[in-house]
Amino acid sequence: MLKKSEYFVVKQKAVPEVLQKVVEAKRLLESEKAVTVQEATEQAGISRSSFYKYKNDIFPFHDNARGKSITFVIQMNDEPGLLSDVLHVVADYNANILTIHQSIPINGVASLTLTVDILPTTGDSSDMIKEIEGKEGVMYLKILARE
């Protein structure tokens, strides 16, 4: 029998608004733009009860990624330099590439499986993934695992 996962990775657009506002309230508190929970929840536009109900259940992806590895698959055009551009993004964020596997391109599209170690010095892994997704020629990125 398969063990049920306690965590899920979902894109922001799939997360209910109240949970996004809880994350915003937490950011306000951490950045000291709000001193109290009351101030943070008012600025974020949620009730204190919603904040307390969900505050321990939602957090930005990068907050829980440090010290872990992330495996994702990327479908990208078979263009000179595109793989290098993707790897440079990983390097720019100070993440460490553990494994890399690229298939032989079919119809001008290559599949790349990449496992990246998120170090304590790595920048925001969510931003890293967004930057890779935004590269011209990258058609698809999906996170397969986080260990």
pLDDT grade for 131, boundaries at 50, 70 and 90 = very high
Q: Tens digit of pLDDT for each residue in 30-58? A: 888 888 999 999 999 999 999 989 888 88
What is the arithmetic mean of pLDDT over 55-75? 74
Average pLDDT, the chain: 86
Q: Tens digit of pLDDT for each residue in 10-27? A: 777 888 899 989 888 988
pLDDT grade for 65, boundaries at 50, 70 and 90 = low
75, 87, 122, 128 from 82: Cα distances, Å: 11, 9, 22, 16
* C-alpha R_g of the chain: 18
Classify domain 64-146 at the CATH superfamily level.
ACT domain (3.30.70.260)
Tokens of 101: 């596997």
Cα separation, 6 vs 12, in Å, equals 18
| pLDDT score of 62 more than 70 | no
Angle of CA points 80, 81, 86, to nearest 5°: 135
Spell out the domain ranges in the chain: 12-59, 64-146
What is the arithmetic mean of pLDDT over 62-86? 84
What is the arithmetic mean of pLDDT over 79-100? 94
Distance of CA 77 to the CA centre of its chain: 22
The Cβ-side half-sphere exposure at 102, using a 13 Å CA radius, reads 15
pLDDT number for residue 145: 73
pLDDT grade for 143, boundaries at 50, 70 and 90 = confident
Give the count of beta carbons closer than 10 Å to the beta carbon of residue 125.
Answer: 24
pLDDT number for residue 69: 86
pLDDT number for residue 86: 95
pLDDT number for residue 78: 95
